[in-house]
Structure 1
Amino acid sequence: MPLPPPDVSRELLHTRTLRVDAYARDDGLWDLDAELVDVKGYDFPRENGTVHKMGDPVHRMHLRVTIDNDFTITAAQAAYDAAPFNENCFSIAPAYQQLVGLNLLRRFRNAVKERFGRAAGCTHLTELSHLLPTVAVQCMAGRMREERARGGEQSDKKPFELDGCHALRVDGPVAAKHYPKWYVAPEGRAKRE
């Protein structure tokens, strides 16, 4: 269900679009190609005397990470098509190769903040990187289901997605239905059979 229409008329000022495409590679690895685009809903003067036109990207940047089956980043690269301070912004792109070695499921966002916080990185590329863990999980969800099916319900390892969000909490109806081995009845209610 979408948001209701606004009660007051308003003017569009800014639009940010985030996109991440996930790819299975022929070499068994996975690519996540992320893009951030910012556009303004109005024209504005540039420092050089020209006019930045409404709808033209103020920011347009890309981040690609390659991950293995354990969600560890094996390669990373960043690129810019547009940024307000041109080469002053673009020059940070090579630093994002420092993502290599990080694991998307193990304190990734904290590690990114430590490596690229404030002046050590680009605010926008860093923000874009924060989308990668959940996209990687979605990318590999089918593979994980297949592995669990092959291994049967005999695994003693709790599926990593449980307790990862409200719907997948171990005491909720989704866990009761789809993960009965890991379901924990809330206090005061008996475990569903």
Structure 2
Amino acid sequence: MPLSTPAARKPLHRRLIEMHGYQREDGLYDIEAWLADTKTYAFDNLDRGTVQPGEPLHGMWVRLTVGEDMVIRACEAASDFTPYAICPQAAPNFSRLAGVSIGPGFNRAVKERVGGAMGCTHLREVLAQMATVAFQTIGPMRWRKAREERAAAIARGETPPPARRVLPINSCYAYAEGSEVVRRHEEVAEE
């Protein structure tokens, strides 16, 4: 069901964010994000002169390389379009995220390493969403691997390890402790 019909209006600003999760041949995963901000009107900018309608004010990339353990192995950022000439100088600082674990405390660790004047607000904002994409990319691969290992153990006549999916309990309405969704996952795990 879409949102209700809006009041009469005209578009002014557009932010596009696109994210992808990739499995690499070396067993690691790349999570990439692209962010672009555009306006529907021309405006003056101190460093760029006049920014035309549809021309990106922000055009930025971030890549996290992550292991199955959800630890960031590398982070690369690039800023193709920025409002100020100095802005791209913040991108190399995002390499400081190597070694950070995606999980509890992730946003705090990001703030400590690239918060405030050490980083870029726009690049930093997409990192929380990238963490979710990392879970959605890597989680099913870990679950598949655990199920394959379980099946292989059964085929060898061994007692299989439990194939248990770790759920983010109380992270949202569906995963509320004791919810129907959580109960269904627990039933599947017991089979």
The TM tier, using the shorter chain, reads 0.7 to 0.9
Change (3 A) 1:65 1:10: same
Q: Does 1:164 align with 2:162?
A: no
Map 1:15-164 onto structure 2 (within 5 A): 15-47=14-46, 50-86=49-85, 88-149=86-147, 150-151=149-150, 155=162, 159-164=166-171
Tell me: CA distance 1:85–1:175, structure 2 relative to 1, closer, same or farther (3 Å). Answer: same
- Deviation, 1:157, is 6.8
CA-to-aligned-CA distance 1:31-62 (integer Å, 9 cap, x gap): 01111111112111233684211111000111
User: Which residue number corresponds to residue 185 of structure 1?
Assistant: none
Q: Give the counterpart letter for 2:4 in structure 1.
A: P
Q: CA 1:9 to 1:171, structure 2 compared with 1: closer, same or farther past 3 Å?
A: same
Cα distance between partner residues in 2 of 1:145 and 1:48: 49
Q: TM-score, normalized by length of structure 2?
A: 0.85
Structure 1 stretches of 4+ moved >6 Å: none
> C-alpha distance in 1, partners of 2:145/2:176?
22
Structure 1: unaligned runs, 5 residues or longer: 183-193
Contact kept in structure 2, 1:104 and 1:132, CA below 8 Å: no
Distance of 1:43 and 1:180 partners within structure 2: 57
Residue matched to 2:184: 177
Give the match for residue 3 of structure 1: 3
Aligned residues: 181
Amino acid corresponding to residue 109 of structure 1 in structure 2? N
Give 2:156's aligned residue: none
Q: Distance in 1 between matches of 2:72 and 2:49?
A: 41
Structure having the larger proportion of residues in helix: 2
Mapped partners of 2:29, 2:112: distance in 1: 25
Provide the rounded CA distance (Å) in 2 between the counterparts of 1:148 and 1:154: 8
Instruction: Quote the sequence identity (%).
Output: 33
SS in 2 for 1:179: helix
8 Å CA contact 2:167, 2:175 repeated in 1: no
